[in-house]
Amino acid sequence: MAGYEVFRNGVRIGAANGTSYLDLTTQPGVAYSYSVVAMDVAGLSSTPSNTVTVTPIGLFNDDFESNSLSRWTSVTNLTVQQQEVFGGSYAARGTSSGLPMYAQKLLSAPQTELYYRIRFKILSQSQTFNLLKFRTGDPGNGKSLLGVFVNSNTRYLGLRNDIALQTTTSTTRVSLGAWHELQVRARMTGPTGGETEVWLDGIRVDSLTTTQSFDSNRIGRLQLGENGPNLSFDVAFDDVTVDTQFIPSGTSPTITPTFTATASQTSTPTSTLTSVSSGSLLFSDDFESGNLLQWTNVQGLIVQSQHVASGAYAARGTNAAGPATYTRKTLAASQNDLYYRIRFKVISQAANTFNLLKLRSAVNTPIVGLSINNNGRLSYRNDVAGRSVNSTVSVSQGSWHTLQVHVRIADAVGRIDVWYDGTPVTALSQTEAFGTNPIGVLQLGENTPGLTYDVAFDDIAASTDFIETVTVPPHGPTITLTPTATQTGTSTSTNTPTATLTGTATPTITATSTHTPTLTSTLTPGGSFTFVPTADAYVYATNPTTNFGALTVLRVDASPDMRSYLRFNVQGVNGTVSRATLRIYANSASTAGISLWRVSDNTWRESTLNYNNAPAVGSLIGSSPSVSTGTWINIDVTAFITGNGTYNLALTTPGSTAISFASRQAVTNAPQLIVETTP
């Protein structure tokens, strides 16, 4: 088998040589359908697998199935266990005889309105204690804004406004020994416009649904559990979800699309998956551009096609006691809490330690590096404290592996967590003193010269949340192939294979070909010319500093504001333009349609464009009244395209339903500008 192709909404989004593929381009609230196809070395394929449809949700989620609390910014005494679980194999638990039991999550951006949903089970209780809290994002633990508690005497549900110092207790009783679902909406809109809403087991608690005053505070941190001392209780938590909209009861809180796949007797892969929100994605590169242009600077690392985990290209660093081989990416904003995931394959290694990755400050001061030591074992070095830690995990050569590191910067109580091929590495997961300088630069590869190694890298991702993996099944068809020579309409002849699927264990190839004439063409004035964008990206008001230029989709929405930008470089056009048409492929549908606008700014860059620096939109060019899934949308742009030159466009929608289109990175269904001319 050569590998597998992954399809979303019927459109190919990538390929995998191994049994995993990560989709980082999804958005919350949008339904996606996934299937996979197995590929032969000759490029022939099986029939598609079953299709699974999911809708990503949430700004933050944790179902604790990682068997850790690594998605949280800080943890005090709360643990993960298997005795009391609502769904899956793991849940969190706090059993207190006087100690605080809680975890906190620092949001990437403060919010004025949030929905916070948990499942909980009280096993025992002696005093009143909080199930959750909303806090500010101030240093330390932040300031408590709102807490939801269970009263010890009556086990009534209540809330405490810690800004106004007001407590409200309902008459809704929480039973012991049973799982409950609690959802809380908190809105912070100045001294008099705040609100709270509370639902228990899907039923709104009217007495806790009130107008509140939270002054000018905003929600920057979430707390799960009780931070107060000298209390006695035992409570389990599961399926935590946070979103900017109501979270339907029973919604799965998973945050990353993950195929769990098996092969059927018909050699057609089957799969199940859960969903992901890419709102926390900071950077990604699968090297399918064939270059390293997404990185800020490059030293010695190259892109090649000999050793690839998925798709057609991967990076590679080969050193025989020579110059260093690495590349670095400067983040748009420095981070105190970061997950960095790579796939790598050690082709060879001498008896020396070399780094796979490093995290650095914004001024390139090293913070921590993940390496393979001279014994072939996974290790890290804390460059701030000047100490190295080795594990007993041996890294096998010649195979692709997945490595993920989580680093939290919090002076002496910082944290590192490491996963190797999806399994936590306990020896490399602990509290670490990383100082106070946040992470501003990602490094891939080794910056120290004079070492000897050969390593390939693929599927790079950095995020503010844990990054999981989509896996596809290691199974596919067997093929008998007979190519025959066929003249095509291109400038040279090609061999076009014909194929049948058989039950053989290995592809059998027999081929005959005869010389066919070379076709030539003469350029004459007039005709039809097709151009694809030289740059395209969308911007999103909710994530104003995030760049989405590397994604395979363009997106538009009226609320919150989301628009797409495209640039075409029209060259070689002969004659007079008689008609010009923009064609874009719709991945989703909307009755509101789309609008196309002129953009005069020609300085924006695909790799740095975001909502804050996006150019202004000019006059309207044209529109489409409606959009259907899986169709090409044609918009007449003749009035705008006058001949050779560079043209910038913006795409919007008047409707509040987000619409997805294929970007130039989607390749097969990339946008097209068709220019027709007359002599």
More confident residue, 487 or 81: 81
Q: What are phi and psi of 273, to 5 degrees?
A: -155, 165
The reply to whether omega before 560 is within 30° of 0 (cis) is yes
> Is the pLDDT assigned to residue 290 strictly greater than 50?
yes
How do residues 28-52 score in pLDDT, each as one tens digit?
A: 556 778 888 876 655 566 777 878 7
Which residue in this structure is represented by tokens 């192939």? 481
Average pLDDT, the chain: 82
pLDDT at 44: 64
pLDDT at 26: 62
DSSP conformational letter for 278: G
List % helix, strand, coil for the chain (3-state, nearest 5): 0, 50, 45
Alpha-carbon distance of 43 to 2, in angstroms, equals 8
Of 37-46, 391-400, 508-517, 534-543, highest mean pLDDT: 391-400
Alpha-carbon distance of 218 to 193, in angstroms, equals 13
Alpha-carbon distance of 356 to 188, in angstroms, equals 44
Same fold, 279-390+434-471 and 527-678: yes
Alpha-carbon distance of 475 to 46, in angstroms, equals 10
> Is the pLDDT assigned to residue 272 strictly greater than 90?
no
Overall fold of domain 3-56+258-277: Immunoglobulin-like (2.60.40)
**CATH entry 3.20.20.70 includes domain 279-390+434-471:** no
Right CATH for 527-678 from 2.30.29, 2.40.160, 2.40.50, 2.60.120: 2.60.120
Q: How confident is the model at residue 90 (pLDDT cuts 50, 70, 90)?
A: very high
Span 352-372, average pLDDT: 96
In the chain, domain spans:
3-56+258-277, 60-243, 279-390+434-471, 478-509, 527-678
Sequence-distant (≥ 6) Cβ neighbours of residue 111 within 8 angstroms: 59, 218, 219, 220, 244
pLDDT above 70 covers what percent of the chain? 82
Alpha-carbon distance of 149 to 129, in angstroms, equals 5
> Is the pLDDT assigned to residue 315 strictly greater than 60?
yes
Q: Is 455 left (phi over 0), alpha (psi -120 to 50) or beta?
A: beta
What residue type is assigned to position 636 of the chain? D
The closest of 313, 257, 336, 323 to 55, measured between CA atoms, is 257
**CATH entry 2.60.120.200 includes domain 60-243:** yes
pLDDT at 452: 94
> pTM of the full predicted structure?
0.41
> Is the pLDDT assigned to residue 182 strictly greater than 90?
yes
